[in-house]
Amino acid sequence: MTGDLNELLQNKIGFGTAPLGNMFREIPEEEALDTVRAAWDQGVRYFDTAPFYGAGLAEERLGQVLSEKNRDEFVLSTKVGRLVTDEHETKEGLFAFRHQKKVITDFSAEATERSIQDSLERLKTDRLDFVFVHDTSRDFYGDAWISLFDQARTGAFRVLSRLQSEGVISGWGLGVNTTEPIELALDLEETPPTMSLSATQYTLLQHERALQRMMPKAQETGARIIVGGPFNSGALLGGDHFDYKEIPDDVREKIAVMSKIAQRHGVSLKAAALQFSTPHPAVAAVIPGASRPERIAEVLAALKEEIPAAFWEDLRQQSLISSDARVPGAR
């Protein structure tokens, strides 16, 4: 890219487009497009997407808006590992309201190159900045994730590493909802990732393993981490989902305790969640999702909300956050 990457990511905030793939609900087309426009109009310049989000729907919607902008003025990332086909498939679950197209899993070199070309077409652009290998993890594939990780290691990893060395992309890594695949990839000598997306794992609700393993490995290797899902699928905002599934009772109880502490200090959990995920030196950006235009302003206001040090100290005293967590204002 010809734009200054550090300048474009300087406020550490981006826009995650999973909701625009009709995650959990059917979003009217104009509402989705207006949400992207609102992000742009309010200064957001990093956008992340994936073929998996609505079987190409999120990429298409994002491309409609960003194709009208100067390509040097924003950072764009997408993912590989899933191919959207023309074959019809009725889908239920997370993206039940998506395009009814069959999506197949394939981390091979050939599929990686094809996936990138397909994404470029849907996004109406000529280049990508970051590419993430999507969901090579236990939460999607159970014990089979190890063999898929190995397929990615000899396929997608090598393709993306080559593209980075050629200057075609600025960086690459994994985009997963667990930390272990990123940790394993960072140990590779042949093709270590330089920028990975860790969703739901470095948040106010859960961060112990990330702090103990993933973040130190990233710092040791000079890799960066993008934090996705900082609200844990809306759980921290009073929603019914936690990490893309129904919220369990113990998580509800933990959030209830956090909410009482936040109320006592005059703090919103949205602000606390965003500001918790931002300060760590390994974090390049935090990318909350949104599906309504008004949510963008709320997110940006939450980043600027004043949070007293006593709030963080109360969370530590009740063992709700790690004593090792880097919080705003700490040195």
Catalytic residue list: 48, 53, 79
Kind of pairing between the strands at 82-88 and 195-199: unpaired
Q: Which residue from 104, 107, 103 is spatially nearest to 151, judged by alpha carbons?
A: 107
The tokens for 156 are 């997608």
Neighbours of 300 (CB within 10 A): 16
What whole-number distance in Å separates Cα of residue 269 and Cα of residue 258? 8
HSE value, Cβ hemisphere, 13 Å, CA-based, for 105: 14
Neighbours of 70 (CB within 10 A): 8
Concatenating the DSSP letter of every residue in 87-121 gives EE----STTTTS--EEEEE--SHHHHHHHHHHHHH
Strand spans (E) along the chain: 15-16, 46-48, 75-80, 82-88, 101-105, 130-134, 171-176, 195-199, 224-228, 241-242, 245-246, 283-287
